A and B are shown apart, each in its own frame.
Chain A
Amino acid sequence: MIDAAARLRRPPWLRIYLGITLLLFLAAATFGLVFSPRDVTQGDLIRIMYAHVSVAWIAFVAVGLTAVFGALYLWRGNRRDDVLAVASGEMGLFFASLTIIGGMTYSRPTLNTFWTWDAKLTLTAIMVALMVGYFIVRGLIDDPVRRGRVSAVVAIVAAASLPFNYLAAEWFRTLHPAKSVALDGSGVTMDSTMLAVLLFNTVVAGLIYLGFMIDRARLGHVEAALEEERSLAATRQTPVGKEVVRV
């Protein structure tokens, strides 16, 4: 028997971590809402950007990590990797949905529309659909090994479309504002205070993701142990040798 009650309790270090993350989140929000300068063209609306962009970045990281844990599961066959993949996948779905909600909030006053069929928006919506598909597939397969393998495959295919999502801004001519931070180091076209606030917000979003991911994985391990115990109990109840008697 597993001592479910004891394992369901959140360990002290995780409580402390989540508490600190909450404080950091309040600080990040204050930086964005109070200390950040107003934007030249967007005015106070730029403050939405800190929440929107940081959440969007973490959504991609979460979905990418789902695929990484899925690939590890396919490689090593360790149930822990599958549990981590689910935990990361749930956070990925949550952050991707937040990205769309935040993006709509941001684009209504700045671009005068809630939704355009812009490549980045479309592909973020696709990412949400992909993650929903991931969880539908998981719900349909009872055998844990097969469930882990098939959903890992779905996650990897989903992540394979992510590079196209990033490149989309370059490939398709769209309404979405050009990226202000180029990853090739060619330069940053953003006020240094704004950039610092954005990066701080991103780090905090990452910490929030990590905290809840760990917490969800903790529950996932209990879930997996319970599932294994139940299937063991079911096999124990089946009388052995019944088939032989019938022959």
Chain B
Amino acid sequence: MNDLHAVLWIARKDLLQESRSKAVTVATVFFSAVTLGVLAFAFGENPLLMREGAMGALWVALAFAGVISAAQSWQADLEDGALEALLAWPVPRAAVYLGKLLANWGLMTALGFVLLPLAGGLYGADIGGGAAPGGDGETAPALVVTVLLGVIAAGTLGFALIAVFYAGLTANLRARESLLPVLMFPVVVPILLAAVRASNALVGSGDLDLAWAWLRLLVGFDLVYAVVCLVLFRFVVEA
């Protein structure tokens, strides 16, 4: 079995586990929906404020949900020495990380795709229609939505990279629940910033050029963090 197979098997294992327990799905979907609801109260009655804050609220909800999802993916393996067995597998440690990353990224992206129309509906933001009056009128709504989905995929990738990495680091430490957000949020701020700006450029005015610039930056962050995390992961988990 080569390393790529190992990565896919670990991702498959995590997704299978999730499809049976549904622990992450239930927790993240309801938690992020509640977060969207609570943030709507914070914006008050102002429809303009709600529309402009829609994408920010979406990313806050995704970020909080991502912490739960990443923590849970290691938490499940702590029982019955499953993690030790996984680490004793003769594949590079990075393969374990990549497998878990893949599963988490898949769940997060799916969650993002579900939350996007929900955020649009709750906050009165017209997801594909930013192109119409405010923009240059040339951009097709389908293209805007496609790029927006790309932004969500790139943003959740960057987020999952750091979340799964730090969740592995804190998995067998005391106070891991509070430690994980403290460690990871400072690192993911550039990713969240770029993702929010790119989403806002699309939803607000259908400004594809601006969205592309932010998306490129986002992909750049993803690449740098991917290299750093892959190189360092073998030092993170208990030998």
Number of A-B contacts (CB under 8 A): 59
Minimal beta-carbon separation of B223 from chain A (angstroms)? 11
Minimal beta-carbon separation of B173 from chain A (angstroms)? 5
Verify if B26 is at the interface (C-beta below 8 Å from A): no
Verify if B94 is at the interface (C-beta below 8 Å from A): no
Q: Give the residues from 53 to 81 in chain A that come closer than 8 angstroms, CB to CB, to chain B.
A: 74
Known A150-B235, A153-B169, A164-B190: A136·B182 in contact at CB below 8 Å: yes
With A and B bound together, what is the CA distance between A129 and B225 in angstroms? 18
Verify if A171 is at the interface (C-beta below 8 Å from B): yes
Chain A residues lying within 8 Å of B208, measured Cβ to Cβ, are none
Q: Give the residues from 184 to 222 in chain B that come closer than 8 angstroms, CB to CB, to chain A.
A: 185-187, 189-190, 217, 221
B186 touches A136 (CB 8 A): no
Verify if A221 is at the interface (C-beta below 8 Å from B): no
With A and B bound together, what is the CA distance between A5 and B179 in angstroms? 37
Chain A residues lying within 8 Å of B85, measured Cβ to Cβ, are none
Verify if A158 is at the interface (C-beta below 8 Å from B): yes
Cross-interface CB contact of B236 among A136, A153, A164, cutoff 8 Å: A153
B238 touches A146 (CB 8 A): yes
Q: Is the contact region of chain B dominated by helix, strand, or loop, or is it mixed?
A: helix
B169 touches A150 (CB 8 A): yes
With A and B bound together, what is the CA distance between A146 and B236 in angstroms? 9
B228 touches A140 (CB 8 A): no
Cross-interface CB contact of B179 among A136, A149, A157, A171, cutoff 8 Å: A136
Known A122-B189, A126-B189, A164-B190: A153·B182 in contact at CB below 8 Å: no
Known A156-B228, A160-B228, A161-B187: A133·B235 in contact at CB below 8 Å: no
B221 touches A156 (CB 8 A): no
Known A74-B235, A146-B238: A157·B228 in contact at CB below 8 Å: yes
Q: Give the residues from 141 to 175 in chain A that come closer than 8 angstroms, CB to CB, to chain B.
A: 141, 146, 149-150, 152-154, 156-158, 160-161, 164, 171
Verify if A130 is at the interface (C-beta below 8 Å from B): yes
Verify if B42 is at the interface (C-beta below 8 Å from A): no
Minimal beta-carbon separation of B212 from chain A (angstroms)? 14
Number of residues from A at the complex interface, CB < 8 A: 25
Known A74-B235, A152-B235: A158·B174 in contact at CB below 8 Å: no
Number of residues from B at the complex interface, CB < 8 A: 24
With A and B bound together, what is the CA distance between A157 and B232 in angstroms? 9
Verify if A137 is at the interface (C-beta below 8 Å from B): yes
Known A140-B173, A140-B175, A160-B228: A154·B183 in contact at CB below 8 Å: yes
Cross-interface CB contact of B183 among A137, A141, A149, A164, cutoff 8 Å: A137
Cross-interface CB contact of B235 among A122, A126, A140, A149, cutoff 8 Å: A149
With A and B bound together, what is the CA distance between A152 and B232 in angstroms? 10
A153 touches B235 (CB 8 A): yes
B187 touches A158 (CB 8 A): yes
Q: Which of A137, A157, A158, A160 has the most CB of B within 10 A?
A: A157
Query: Beta-carbon contacts of A108-150 to B below 8 Å, as 1s and 0s?
Result: 0000000000000011001001101100110011000010011
Query: Beta-carbon contacts of A178-213 to B below 8 Å, as 1s and 0s?
Result: 000000000000000000000000000000000000
Closest 9 CB pairs of A and B: A129-B186, A126-B186, A133-B183, A149-B235, A160-B228, A153-B232, A130-B186, A140-B173, A153-B235
Interface positions of A (Cβ within 8 A of B): 74, 122-123, 126, 129-130, 132-133, 136-137, 140-141, 146, 149-150, 152-154, 156-158, 160-161, 164, 171
15 CB-based A-B contacts, threshold 8 Å: A74-B235, A126-B186, A130-B187, A133-B183, A136-B179, A146-B238, A150-B235, A150-B236, A153-B169, A153-B232, A154-B183, A157-B187, A160-B228, A164-B221, A171-B217
**Given pairs A132-B182, A157-B229, 20 additional interface contacts (CB within 8 A):** A74-B232, A122-B189, A123-B190, A126-B189, A129-B182, A136-B182, A137-B169, A150-B235, A152-B235, A153-B169, A153-B235, A153-B236, A154-B169, A154-B183, A156-B228, A157-B187, A157-B228, A160-B228, A161-B190, A171-B217
